[in-house]
Structure 1
């Protein structure tokens, strides 16, 4: 059998197996876009570096929440809460068995907008519940120093 024919038959077999797995009761669904992504670095509480099979490497602004600025914070309290939010996100990423990333557009700082779920839980929801972040859907950001002092 020629190499081309063998590759064709193998690729066809893989496609049939994947199609059957995605339609067979009791088996997990076929992987979604987010299953092929991983967080490679936590920059701060709402910014990470990622690598995705379909997109390559990029910096991501995590959506749905906002954390204090760690780069040039406005006050000591903002710097401390930013450190805590960053540390907590690192911990969540490190302990996650599954990363799901819903990729969106690009923000004004050339970061990819991403909704990130770790082990099925939105990271923003966790950080908000723990007092390390606030809900955010764009527009003006809060004055963290006014909020914290």
Structure 2
């Protein structure tokens, strides 16, 4: 008897384990590629919980602040400061609504890939000034201003509430 001829021991069909292995390998490769694509496209997380420095978190807590690998930062731009609507003590409902939009837009922009340029400390809150540039060279702070989700700082009044 030669090859895969019918025999009482074998049943006559060629082994299917190779085909099954190729199918599993292809599935694993495609699933991994899809996961990698989604991981890159997912926005940065919203900051939650304490001990962010110790946990070396990277997250965004509002439209002009976050943490990068455990360092608390305040967003700036090439030409000066950035002020986003207040999320934690808004003066009106519209400011709160825009604060959520601003925070989520910042998260989405940074999820495309970014570079942080550290520019020293600011204020008494232990924050570092951070200029954030996107892969395409855009200034994140200026982008938020151009989109109406932040304003130049220092400013003279609350643009968000009538």
TM-score, normalising length: structure 1: 0.61
Q: Which deviations, in whole Å up to 9, do the C-alpha atoms of 1:104-129 show, x marking residues without a partner?
A: 22322111111111222211110011
Kindly indicate whether the alpha-carbon contact (under 8 Å) linking 2:116 and 2:130 is maintained by their aligned counterparts in 1: no
The structure carrying a bigger strand percent of its residues is 1
Q: Is 1:61 matched up with 2:74?
A: yes
Length, aligned pairs only? 102
Alignment deviations for residues 45-89 of structure 1 (CA, whole Å, 9 cap, x no partner): 0001012xxxxx211011221101000211100000101100100
Deviation at 1:103, TM superposition (A): 2.9
Alignment partners' CA distance in 1, 2:132 and 2:93: 28
Q: If each structure's helix is expressed as a fraction of its own residues, which one has the higher value?
A: 1
For the pair shown, the structure with the greater C-alpha radius of gyration is 2
After superposition, give the CA deviation of every residue in 1:19-41 in whole Å (9 maximum; x if it has no partner). xxxxxxxxxxxxxxxxxxx9810
User: How far apart in 2 are the matches of 1:112 and 1:84?
Assistant: 23
Q: 1:45 aligns with which of 30, 53, 63?
A: 63
Give the CA RMSD over aligned residues.
2.1
SS at match of 1:121: coil
| Partner of residue 80, structure 1 | 97
Where do 1:11-22 residues align within 5 Å? none
